[in-house]
Structure formats: C-alpha cells, structure tokens
Amino acid sequence: MEILKIEHLSKIYGKGETAVTALNDVSFTVKKGEFIAIIGPSGSGKSTLLHLLGGVDRPTRGKVFVDKTDIYDLNETQLAVFRRRQIGLIYQFYNLIPVLTVKENMTLPLLLDGHQVNQEHFNKVVQVLGLQDRLGHLPNQLSGGQQQRVSIGRALMNQPALMLADEPTGNLDSKNSKEIVDLLKLFNKTYNQTLIIITHDERIALQADRIITIEDGRIQKDEVIRP
C-alpha cells in the first residue's frame, strides 16, 4: 500500500536575484512500512524535502499525498491538525519543551487534540524506550540519548502515518546513535511504522530498505537495498 506520493515537488526560497531553488521537481512514492534513508551533501535540499513531506512548509510547486490526502489542499487549520495526527517529527536537537515533564512532552500532541491518552499504547512505548523511571523528569535532567528517546515517544503517540527524522543521531555519541537507530528500526519492523531518516552516517543509511540521494535539489539516485 502506498502511504506517500510526491509529484513534481519544488521549493524556491526568496524572490528575484536572491531566490534559491532548494528542491527541483522531485517525485517518488513510498510504501507503508518502508524504511528510507535520505543522504546527500549539506545544502542539497534534504531538510526542505522532509519539511514538505511533513506539512511543515508549503511547496512552490507540486503535490504531496499522505495516505491519499492532498495535504497542501488543506487550509492552515486543517494542515496543523494533519501534522499533529499523521506526522511524527524527530530533530537533531530533540525540540522538547523544557518546562514539561517527560510524560507531558510525550502526551502533549494528543492533549492538544482533545484526545485521551491510550494508556496501553503509552505504557508499551515507554517500556520499549526504557523511560519508565523518567516520566516525571524534565528534559534538562536527561542525557541526550534519553531526550531523543522522549522525542521518539512523542512522535509515536498518535501512531502517525509517517515518522520523519532529520539527522536524529547528529548530536549523539556512537553508542547512543546505535541505540536510537535500533529503536527507530524496532518501531519500523514491529509496528510497520513508515520511517524516513536524513543521515550523514553511511552505517545508518545502509540499514534502510532504500536510499535516496539528493543533490542540488534533485534525486540523484534511488536505490533499493532490501526489496
């Protein structure tokens, strides 16, 4: 089943002489449960692409369908709801809210939606992430690896259509990097959670089912590693 379809996606920042074409006519599809690594030089348009897949920014041209929904056909309010329910975003620097506890950070997207926390799902995610003893802690009382685990938990609370990670191990040492990638893979395999990771780390890219290489805002290569 196709969970994501991107058609002729382009993004130009700015206007006139200072305009930058960050993404230039990119098209591809993603099957539910796929694990994709996006690689490419710095400034090639990787983060721009990920943001457009997640409804964080609007494209200059082209379309993004997530689970058949044409997401840029939605108005701002609908797009915000879509993002909260269907997209799990993970960043290099975690982006946790400093004054909220681990549990509050994880459940915030649900509460913003007026939804009850599914306690069973919450407990399972917390258990897998090894955060049982940290639920009342604030982010600054946690290590980097633990903070990233919280941000993974937050991303998974809504059982999103897409989990999108922008260099999720960029700020971690090799042991914590491995743990984070192992966890992301576990959720990918166990829950068939579609996963797209931007990474500089070849060892991480080689664990994906498919590697997409971006250069100068275009797809330069799209290789299936594990059919």
Ligand X SMILES: Nc1ncnc2c1ncn2[C@@H]1O[C@H](COP(=O)(O)OP(=O)(O)O)[C@@H](O)[C@H]1O
Of 223, 193, 222, 225, nearest in space to 206 by CA:
225
59 binds ligand X (CB under 6 A): no
When binding is defined by CB under 6 A, the residue of 47, 151, 177, 194 that contacts ligand X is: 47
Is 10 or 47 the residue whose CB approaches Mg ion more closely? 47
Site string for ligand X, 1-40 (x = CB under 6 A): ------------xx-----x-x-----------------x
**Residue labelled with tokens 């290789």:** 223
156 binds ligand X (CB under 6 A): no
Coil, strand or helix: which one is 147?
helix
**In the complex, least distance from residue 195 CB atom to ligand X, rounded to whole angstroms:** 18
Is 22 or 157 the residue whose CB approaches ligand X more closely? 22
Of 125, 105, 103, nearest in space to 184 by CA:
125
- For 80-89, b/e burial (b = at least 16 CB within 10 A) is eebbbebbbb
CA 57, CA 63: separation in Å to the nearest integer? Answer: 12
CA 204, CA 208: separation in Å to the nearest integer? Answer: 7
Binding part of the chain for ligand X, among 26-34, 46-54, 90-98, 171-179 by CB under 6 A, reads 46-54
Question: Which of Mg ion, ligand X, none does residue 13 bind (CB under 5 to 8 Å by kind)?
Answer: ligand X
**In the complex, least distance from residue 153 CB atom to Mg ion, rounded to whole angstroms:** 23
Is 47 or 146 the residue whose CB approaches Mg ion more closely? 47
Rounded (5°) CA angle 154-224-181: 30
**In the complex, least distance from residue 68 CB atom to ligand X, rounded to whole angstroms:** 26
